Amino acid sequence: MKAAARIEVARRDGRDVVVDARSEPPMAIRTAGDRVLVVGSAAAPVGGDALTLDVVVGTAARLSLGTVAATMAWPGPHDSWSSFAVTAAVGAGGHLCWTPEPTIAVAGCRHRSSMTVRLDPGATAWIVEEVSLGRTGEDPGHLELEWRVERAGAVLLHHAERLGPSGPGWGSAVGNGQHRHLVAAVSVGVVAPGDGPPTSVDASGAAARLQIADDTWMVLAVGVDRPSARCAMDAVADLGAHGLDVETVRALIRL
């Protein structure tokens, strides 16, 4: 199955307005208060599926975008790969908050997920990606993740991960160990907290904050479960102290 969706938001008369919302099954676009949500209308992605989401945030507009539920990546016939590619363009002075529910790598799946964000000068972004390695009690499938963030044509971040049995170092000390939930977050346009610790490690989770530019930083967190990974992320990000949308961000780490 091949399917595409598109969302465009513009700033008009002091309000953020969805001016274009198109989708094909298994995706549907819905608005919920001040958020826009991608809804799964069928089981997807299954091996062989190719899904794309195109996002446009106009000049000075703001978009809080997420998903209604977790994305289950399912195995398909003949060990075929599925893919979900998100491309976002944010105009000058605009802001994108992308906080989808986790992607769950079901046993036997082969799935590629990519996120490309292009920011005009003065644009900001808060982007979160979460992964659960298999359902409870099962081994994960094969998962490839790729992020690319550009600002004014310059690359700020290009990050890739390969997880699951085919990933480099899988099952060794350099892998994720007992941690089955992973979170990666990127903040562009907000100075990182200066008084918080850059790392956090305990028995249930670990996180590190990585400085990319003066106003750009990334957090990588792992945990034995979702609450543990989110708490580890919060410990190094100090999310409510530096100008982010507090209510939206705090919802990410609520136990």
d(CA 18, CA 35): 10
How close are the terminal C-alpha atoms of the chain, in Å? 36
**What are 89-126's pLDDT values in tens digits?**
999 999 999 999 999 999 999 999 999 999 999 999 99
Could you tell me the pTM of the whole model? Answer: 0.87
Report the pLDDT value the prediction gives residue 171, as an integer from 0 to 100.
58
Report the pLDDT value the prediction gives residue 61, as an integer from 0 to 100.
97
Residues in the chain: 255
In the block, tokens 């195109």 appear at: 54
User: How wide is the angle at C-alpha 45 spanned by C-alphas 42 and 47, nearest 5°?
Assistant: 125
Which residues of the chain, if any, have pLDDT below 50? 173, 241-255
